[in-house]
């Protein structure tokens, strides 16, 4: 009986540690995406007042930058912009103004 309790305790500890690790990883990703979005919305190249923004929290591989990136967009009163950010550091790699039709 004592052996079963030891194994159950060890297994519970391992499961708890794994869950805590995954939770921390998700929080770090959320914080990084929030930072990227904040930096994109305050970029000096934007023209007009920001009225909306988004970021895709799924990492994508970029052939152009040869790394994993997050992509998103910012809408201002004058233009719409797309941005690309490094998924590791959060640095903005590109900010492109979209053509309005």
**Percentage, residues of the chain above pLDDT 90:** 64
pTM for this prediction: 0.77
* Cα 67 to Cα 93: distance, rounded to the nearest angstrom: 11
Sign of torsion, CA 70 32 88 92?
positive
pLDDT in tens, 48-83: 899 999 999 999 999 999 999 999 999 999 899 999
């Amino acid at each position: 009986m004592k052996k079963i309790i030891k194994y159950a305790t060890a297994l519970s500890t391992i499961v708890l540690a794994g869950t805590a690790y995954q939770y921390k990883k998700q929080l770090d990703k959320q914080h990084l995406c929030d930072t990227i979005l904040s930096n994109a919305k305050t970029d000096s190249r934007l023209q007009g007042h920001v009225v909306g923004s988004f970021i895709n929290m799924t990492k994508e591989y970029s052939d152009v930058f040869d790394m994993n990136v997050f992509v998103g967009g910012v809408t201002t009163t004058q233009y719409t912009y797309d941005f690309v950010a490094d998924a590791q550091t959060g640095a903005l790699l590109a900010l492109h103004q979209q053509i309005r039709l």
